[in-house]
Structure 1
Amino acid sequence: MNILSHFWFEANIKLSNGKYLVDGKKINAFTNEEEAAVKLDEVVPFRLESKLIERGAKFEKSGLWQTHVTVDERVVTGQNPQSVHAVGEAVLEELKKTSIIKNTKETYFCAKLKFSLNNQDKSCIHSKSSTFHKMV
């Protein structure tokens, strides 16, 4: 399973066949409009949405700051920091399809995340029987 984030490498991962990972996949990420809204569109080396489309992604998006998660095969992407909880749920569902979490009653996911937009420094998701509780 691939868990991608807003980092630049998302658009640059190539498979052994030479194609980009995102080529032909439904993907979402920070949108051009969200980049402009936080005045980063002239700071970042490229707009991620545009680069993903250029690399062959079928880019999906919702409105500014709306939760949006896309799953295509084993690639899970979230649009923005507001999507982190839903991304965790989607990742758990994908992991349940593998041998990694078969027959597991309780699973813990903790990720230290730094979001420059809302100054959060950590987010922890606890899952028991597919019920998530966000603890900050």
Structure 2
Amino acid sequence: MIIFITLDNNYNKIWERSGKATFSSHYEKPEIVNIIKDEVHNKKIYAIGLYRAKKSSGQLLPPSLLCITKVTILSIDNIYAHDIIIDFNFIKKMPVSLNNDLEKVLIEPTPLIRYIPDSQVVKILQSGRYRRIL
């Protein structure tokens, strides 16, 4: 499962609608981005969009379930430019309590594009309080 983390001040409620998210390859792990880019042509890739007020803190906004439709990596000389463009479709809102459960898995605040094994996400979602959203 892919996790996208955005800072609420930069992208206010971006995960609550279909659209584009941008990231800087200077800060993200290129191997994860390239895997997403390659895999999106062959199958549906789902992601969870999380908000954080700061990189090191949690957020009270509910996470969103997203489906990644396209990944574009631009060639830009400025290493601080947002050169990763990820197109996504909004699927649905998830319970706010999912933030706390994911915080146990996502201990470090960066990078903002993360991969966690599907088995960990399934285990969280199969716990009693999430059975209704599966």
Which structure's CA Rg is the greater one?
1
- TM-score in terms of structure 1 length: 0.27
- TM-score in terms of structure 2 length: 0.27
